[in-house]
Amino acid sequence: MAHQIHPTAVVGPLVKTGDNVIIGPYAVIDGEVVLGDDVEVGAHAHVSGWTTIGNGSRIFPHAAIGGDPQDKKHKRLDKTCLEIGANNIFREFVTINRGTIEGGGLTRIGNNNLFMAYAHVAHDCRVGDDCVFANSGTLAGHVTVEDRVIIGGLTAIHQFCRLGTMAMIGGCSRVIQDVPPYALCVGGPALVYNINAVGLRRAGMTASNMKHLKEAFRILFHSGLAKSSAIEQIQKDVIKTPEVGHLVDFAGASQRGLCGSAKDPSSEE
């Protein structure tokens, strides 16, 4: 069990570490923190609370991971948790808060995510795998982010919103409703402009499946039908690829409503 812990770092007595952990100068690790194998904590970073960080994750200088939720109902001794998966990167001044008792007591982050400088994840959020938060991309409490979502810089997500798989949200956006999966979305308030065609191509989606997804978007956003009727129309008229099925399920489960649309997604490739 080889560690590289700088002599100026402060590591509390309840902290547990895996193999090959690196802790930089003046870093503080306190509370019941568990650091997996090959975790690196940079200079002046702070990891606290009931926090678990998965193998291979890197925390850059001045990040604050596992702090109390920014919620006035939270009490200092409330035992709430933060669970972080493997191979995540938290750049400078990123802040990730634990959950609240009222919200279920847990903030959870998956694997292989990149949080650029000043990104923030508030209490009781759920973040999937392979997401990118650009500089100052921020989540309010209780937000759900599915896999492979990209959040642009200086973008704020309202509490209880959901961001669907492979959605891409442009910089300086204000998201106050659910962003459907596979959408390209931007603005204040954010609007859906198209499917995330570039991202879908890079992910290997076929032209045929993209065509079916575009048709589903057209019905959902531009048919003039109520959401429930639009979903019925999609189920009737559009070939149900896995992506179309996920879009329908996501829209049907939306409580806040979906972001509006800026234009017909069939008007552009």
Low-confidence ranges of the chain (pLDDT < 50): 265-269
Give catalytic status of residue 260 as yes or no.
no
Residue pair 193/199 in contact (Cβ under 8 Å)? The answer is no
**Is 19 an annotated catalytic residue?**
no
Which numeric CATH code is attached to 201-267?
Answer: 1.20.1180.10
Catalytic residue among 62, 123, 142, 246: 123
Its CATH architecture, for the domain 4-142, is 3 Solenoid (2.160)
What is the distance of C-alpha 165 from the center of its chain? 10
Phi-psi region of 142 (alpha: psi -120 to 50; beta: other; left: phi over 0): left
Cis peptide before 69 (omega within 30 of 0): no
pLDDT value, residue 225? 93
| Predicted local confidence at residue 1, as pLDDT | 56
Evaluate whether 4-142 and 201-267 have a shared fold. no
Q: What is the DSSP string of 35-52?
A: E-TT-EE-TT-EE-SEEE
Q: Please state the domain extents for the chain.
A: 4-142, 201-267
Task: Quote the pLDDT of residue 264.
Answer: 55
pLDDT at 269: 43
Annotation says 141 is catalytic: yes
Q: Out of 124, 129, 142, 152, which one is annotated catalytic?
A: 124
Active-site hit among 36, 49, 66, 141: 141
pLDDT tens string 28-42? 999 999 999 999 999
Q: Which of these, 72, 34, 40, lies nearest to 56 by C-alpha position? A: 40
For 31, the enclosing helix (H) or strand (E) is none
